[in-house]
Amino acid sequence: MAHDPAEIKRHLGLVRRRDKRISHAIKFAGLPEPRAIGPGFATLIRIIGDHQVSTAAGAAIWAKLKRNAGGSVTAQRLLKLGESGIRASGFSGQKTRYALGLAEAVVARKLNLKALERADDATVRATLTAFKGIGTWTADIYLMFGMGRPDVWPVGDLALQMAVQMLHELDSRPSAKALETVGEMWRPYRSSVSLLLWRYYGARTKQMRDAKNKVR
């Protein structure tokens, strides 16, 4: 499971044997920590709120939404907050509409997240992406952080694309389609590789920023 530090270490230990680049990334950045949130409605809403914002901004928005919802983000409480309450928490108008749509679907029992816990990855993706505002990236992040699935590879993630560009010393950032091909050799442990590459990207970015500041 992607939530278990020992499993992440084991997965990456197996992958590094067949890919020296992964071994390099581990040596450079160290082993990644799990990013477990747990499954459920609140996690899905949090992922939507985090999309295309910084980690710090996402955390601040989530804390405010949770506070405004009375300490727990449920479908019923979001509907009670309404558009103005959710937007006041930091959600954009578009994200607010997505969140309310999902809340309505849960209340109307058109979306059963508990039942999805027993479904395979493809079924989870197909079910979630049928709802407005949930794309493949959101579904993949939910599978990884919410459900702890071990072989998720969110090819549309910009930071992952940049990490692969750095790791493979490419002239340009690879497309999502190209990333699909690259990730094939890392099956069935691509969630652990994703966690590592996000860490590697952060470490490389910091290294370049520090070097730039040193020159000044």
* CATH number of the domain within which 123 lies: 1.10.340.30
pLDDT of residue 196: 97
Query: How many helices (H) and strands (E) are present in the chain, helices listed first?
Result: 12, 0
What does the pLDDT look like over 83-141, one tens digit per residue? 999 999 999 999 999 999 999 999 999 999 999 999 999 999 999 999 999 999 999 99
Task: Mark whether 65 and 27 lie in a shared domain.
Answer: no
pLDDT of residue 37: 86
Per the structure, how many domains does the chain have?
2
Looking at the predicted structure, is the pLDDT value of residue 1 above 60? no
pLDDT of residue 147: 95
pLDDT of residue 173: 96
pLDDT of residue 2: 60
- Residue 92: both structure tokens together: 């954009």
- Residue 27: both structure tokens together: 């040596």
Residue matched to tokens 């493979």: 168
CB 191 within 8 A of CB 34: no
- Residue 112: both structure tokens together: 């059963």
* Torsion sign across C-alpha atoms 5, 10, 13, 18: negative
Percent of the chain scored above 90 by pLDDT? 88
Give the mean pLDDT of 45-74.
94
Rounded Cα gap, residues 100 and 86, in angstroms: 9
Task: Mark whether 116 and 206 lie in a shared domain.
Answer: no
Structural domain span for residue 66: 41-146
- Residue 82: both structure tokens together: 């309404």
Rounded Cα gap, residues 96 and 54, in angstroms: 18
Residues 6+ apart with CB under 8 A from 21: 167, 168
Rounded Cα gap, residues 48 and 135, in angstroms: 10
pLDDT of residue 213: 80
Rounded Cα gap, residues 154 and 98, in angstroms: 20
Question: What's the pTM?
Answer: 0.92
Rounded Cα gap, residues 139 and 216, in angstroms: 42
Taking each helix axis as running N to C, give the angle between helix 75-88 and helix 93-107, from 0 to 180 degrees, rounded to the nearest 10: 170
Give the residue from 91, 113, 146 where a domain finishes.
Answer: 146
pLDDT of residue 216: 65
What does the pLDDT look like over 9-50, one tens digit per residue? 999 999 999 999 999 999 999 999 988 888 999 999 999 999
* 215 domain residue, yes or no: no
Give the residue from 97, 124, 146 where a domain finishes.
Answer: 146
Q: Which residues of 83-114 are buried (b: 16+ CB within 10 A; e: fewer)?
A: eebbeebbbeeebbbbbbebbebbeeeebebe
What does the pLDDT look like over 125-178, one tens digit per residue? 999 999 999 999 999 999 999 999 999 999 999 999 999 999 999 999 999 999
Rounded Cα gap, residues 175 and 95, in angstroms: 25
Task: Mark whether 20 and 49 lie in a shared domain.
Answer: no
What does the pLDDT look like over 175-196, one tens digit per residue? 999 999 999 999 999 999 999 9
> What count of other Cβ atoms lies within 10 Å of the Cβ of residue 207?
12
Task: Mark whether 184 and 102 lie in a shared domain.
Answer: no
> What count of other Cβ atoms lies within 10 Å of the Cβ of residue 117?
12
Give the residue from 131, 146, 161 where a domain finishes.
Answer: 146
